[in-house]
A and B are shown apart, each in its own frame.
Chain A
Amino acid sequence: MRSLETPYAFAKPRTEGGSEKVSAAVSRVLNYHNQTREVKKDPAPSRNQYRLTRLWLTPSVRVFVKKILPLFVVTGVVALWFANADNRQMVVDAAYNMKRDIQTRPEFMVNLMAVDGASGELAEDIREIAFLDFPLSSFDINLPELQQTFAKLDAVEKVSVHVRTGGILQVDVTERLPSIVLRSELGVELLDDEGRRVGAIDRRQQRNDLPLIAGRGAEHHVVEALHIYKMASPFIERVRGLVRVGERRWDIVLDRDQIIQLPEVGGEAVLEEFVGLVSAQDILNRDFEVIDLRNPQRVTIKLSKNEIQRRTGSDVLSAGVFQND
């Protein structure tokens, strides 16, 4: 800043051996004039700053910037962030994980299934079709669906499913009881007294305690069959089973290959009459092949060949006829 115009510029700087005071004064003068001596302008806002301040003080602008704009910005940023599929997935995953964390807490876990009221086989079936992989969260078990699945089992009459305290899935089953054995081309099956299927067995001998029915359509007339069995109780030890013939009537098959043919309608009444006959005349001990009760007015007995020969001594195919009068 030193310029030759200022008179002080000619003053010599501090010299060797000079007076201390003079040198100090001279340097002070020089320093003084070397300082920038611009008069500081009064502070004033620039035109732009002034306008911006006024804009900022405008109420509508203030409301826009402080309320509406942040709303737009936040909404925009969130929308942009969610526009990315990965981010969306991340949020969904996080929510799912949080939900899982709560659901898999030990308080909600089911560790075992208790089946009450079912026999061993049925219980095994139930466990099999439940298809549950314990331990399992109780939120993952659909109880109504499970209950319906169990109810679909043939051997199940009633079932209730609930989660017990202690993490146990309790299944209470009322089992259907088999009352008859049906032999069909599909195999040997067990039916209950209403004709509903209870289960299958391999051989009829497994359930010798139950009566046997066979023939097409037999399973629809279980009630009738049971009734016939009940009526046939005087000679029940001789009955091998009932056969439904032509989907319309029953044959009672006895041992020694003897058959009692019952009519289509009123079979029970005819049989009742016949039972009285049986006890009175001991018919069943006779050697016959077929007792035909199809026409109650005219009961026909077809004797075996041996009996015919024994009675007639000839090989005549004839049969005695009881007149039902």
Chain B
Amino acid sequence: MTDLYVAQRAMRQMRKAALQRGLIAILDVGTSKVSCLVLRFDADGFEGKEGVGALAGQSLFRVIGAATTRSRGVSFGEIESMGEAERAIRTAVQAAQKMAQTRVDHVIACFSGGSVRSYGVAGETTVMDGIVSEQDIARVLASSDVPDFGPHREVLHAQPVNFALDHRSGLSDPRGQNGHSLMCDLHMLTADSASIQNLIYCIKRCDLELAGIVSGAYASGVSALVEDEQELGAACVDIGGGSSDVSIFMKKHMIYAESLKMGGEHITSDISMGLQVPFAVAERLKTYYGGVVATGMDDREMIEIGGDSGDWEKDRRMITRTELIGIIRPRVEEILEGIRDCLDAASFEHLPSQQIVLTGGSSQIPGLDSLAPQILGQQVRIGRPLRVRGLPQAATGAAFSASVGLALFSAHPKDEWWDFEVPHENYSVRSFRRAVRWVKNNW
């Protein structure tokens, strides 16, 4: 626990250093693609003026380099082959650097594997001096009873989402307020430590300094949900290549995250197996002719699926688009049902707002917007990432939600548990400080 605390603080320091230098890279290691954005933080960014907010920091930076490459060595969002994944990261970073015409040393990475698990943690303490101070917050955070999340897991996020002072709840910043007992709710996200370590190792092998690790589910939610959705409560579903990340936001805090190990590549492999075509051909069929709602027109649309066997009969196979949709649709339904289960497990139906935003590469299947409401409820929309300055047109699609979300996150990071003060009681080594404080209090 302390190790992680130190590591996370070190990463925070690294991120501050990177922002100071004004250059930071965003790395999204996904199952189907690895993308890298290079951000430049300008001093002349729009800081907000009367009537207009600071836009959550999104105007502070500019994307000066962007590159995407096909992912290799990654499956279900987790690194499977270190060498291959490293090569993919290298390719993306080098191309982005070339576009940016500068080298970047600091990188914030996001990944969606590691079977994330989310915990709600509550803590309670009495306010020492009647007025809530930084130390009280530190103590209430420290008093949170950390659940036993098992060995070989690490805390990825631990964000205080709510503070309650006596009978008042929903405080975002209780400092300076009068009260007696302070309570806090913490949302903690843990991930498999091995998959995190693998990612860290791959990034280190590319001579890059890690300035933060973010869950892909969280990053997608930051960029795909608009501000009022984040405020009122919404679920963001990033249907990616190998996994679908579900994150639920409420009052601008992520309160739940879950990763479903199903995604676009399963659809492709279904097509590949069902039609007996290579994976690449199946991917092409899916992206060119894919859909989830069959119409009469689709019965007449013949698709040549080809083959490479040299056998005339096999190489001249034709299918109707309806057949293709017949393969795709059950899998999409299965994914959506999985998402439904995730949301049910998170008791999403008890939230005041039932908005669901689908994003990610696989959310671009035509007809998904009519299929999804049948399974997920009426308030479903397909989301694309927020527009940020300098982002190339090719990187504005739904597949880049996590990348853009990460860029927004780097400009406007959320306070995590390790960003708060350490309660004095935990300073075993720094007893000198305690002595000074004792003298201060007693003289």
- Chain A interface residues (CB < 8 Å from chain B): 25, 28-29, 32-33, 42-45, 47, 50-51, 53-54, 57-59
A57 in contact with B103 given A42-B69, A50-B206 (CB within 8 Å): yes
The answer to whether A44 and B90 touch across the interface, beta carbons within 8 angstroms, is yes
Bin chain B's interface residue count: 20 to 34
B97 touches which one: A28, A47, A54 (CB < 8 A)? A54
Hey, which chain A residues are within 8 Å of B434, CB to CB? none
Is B97's CB under 8 angstroms from A42's CB? no
8 Å CB contact of B70 from A42, A47, A53, A54? A42
Known: A25-B312, A32-B308, A45-B94. 11 other contacts (CB 8 A): A32-B309, A32-B310, A42-B72, A42-B87, A44-B69, A50-B90, A50-B94, A51-B207, A53-B97, A54-B94, A54-B103
Contact residues in B for A53 (Cβ distance below 8 Å): 94, 97-98
**Which label, helix, strand, loop or mixed, suits the secondary structure of the A interface?**
helix
B101 at the interface (CB under 8 A from A): yes
How far, in whole Å, are A50 and B87 apart by their CA atoms in the complex?
A: 10
Check if B378 is an interface residue, CB within 8 A of chain A. Answer: no
For chain B, residues 86 to 131, give those with C-beta under 8 angstroms from any C-beta of chain A.
Answer: 87-88, 90-91, 93-94, 97-98, 101-103
Q: Which residue of A lies closest to B69 (CB)?
A: A42
* Given A25-B312, A29-B310, A57-B97, CB of A44 within 8 Å of CB of B103: no
Give the shortest distance, in Å, between A58 (CB) and chain B (any CB): 5
Nearest-Cβ distance from residue B326 to partner chain A, whole angstroms: 29
If A29-B310, A32-B310 touch, whether A42 touches B101 (CB-CB below 8 Å) is: no
CA gap between A57 and B102 in the complex, in Å: 5
Q: Which residue of B lies closest to A49 (CB)?
A: B94
Some 12 contacts from A to B, beta carbons below 8 A apart, are A25-B312, A29-B311, A32-B308, A42-B72, A44-B91, A45-B90, A45-B94, A53-B98, A54-B94, A54-B97, A54-B207, A58-B103
A55's closest neighbor in chain B, by CB? B103
User: In the complex, what's the smallest C-beta–C-beta distance from A54 to chain B, in angstroms?
Assistant: 5
Q: What are the 4 A-B residue pairs with the smallest beta carbon separation, nearest first?
A: A44-B87, A57-B103, A32-B310, A44-B91
Contact A59 B102 (CB under 8 A): yes
Q: A20 vs B128: C-alpha distance in the bound complex, in angstroms? A: 97
Q: Does the CB pair A44–B102 fall under 8 Å?
A: no
Is A28 touching B91 in the complex (CB atoms < 8 A)?
Answer: no
B94 cross-chain contacts in A, Cβ below 8 A:
45, 50, 53-54
Given A25-B312, A42-B72, A51-B207, A57-B101 contact (CB < 8 Å): yes
Counting chain B CB atoms within 10 Å of each CB, the highest count among A43, A51, A57 belongs to A57
Question: Inside 8 A of A59's CB, which chain B residues have their CB?
Answer: 102
Bound-state Cα–Cα, A28 to B312, Å: 10
* Complex CA distance for A2 and B291, rounded to whole angstroms: 42
CB distance from A168 to the nearest CB of B (A): 70
How distant is the Cα of A160 from the Cα of B195 in the complex, in angstroms?
104
Q: Which residues of A contact B103 (CB under 8 A)?
A: 54, 57-58
Query: If A32-B310, A50-B206, A57-B97 touch, does A43 touch B91 (CB 8 Å cutoff)?
Result: yes
Q: In the complex, which of the residues B91, B98, B312 contacts A42, with contact meaning CB atoms closer than 8 Å?
A: B91
B277 to chain A, nearest CB (A): 15
Shortest distance in angstroms between B280's beta carbon and chain A's nearest beta carbon? 10
From known contacts A57-B97, A57-B101, A57-B103, infer whether A47 and B90 are also in contact, taking CB-CB under 8 Å. yes
| Cross-interface CB contact of A45 among B91, B101, B308, cutoff 8 Å | B91
Q: Could you tell me the distance in whole angstroms from the C-beta of B293 to the nearest C-beta in chain A?
A: 34
Q: Which residues of chain A are within 8 angstroms of B97 by Cβ–Cβ distance? A: 53-54, 57
Distance between Cα atoms of A147 and B237 in the complex (Å): 106
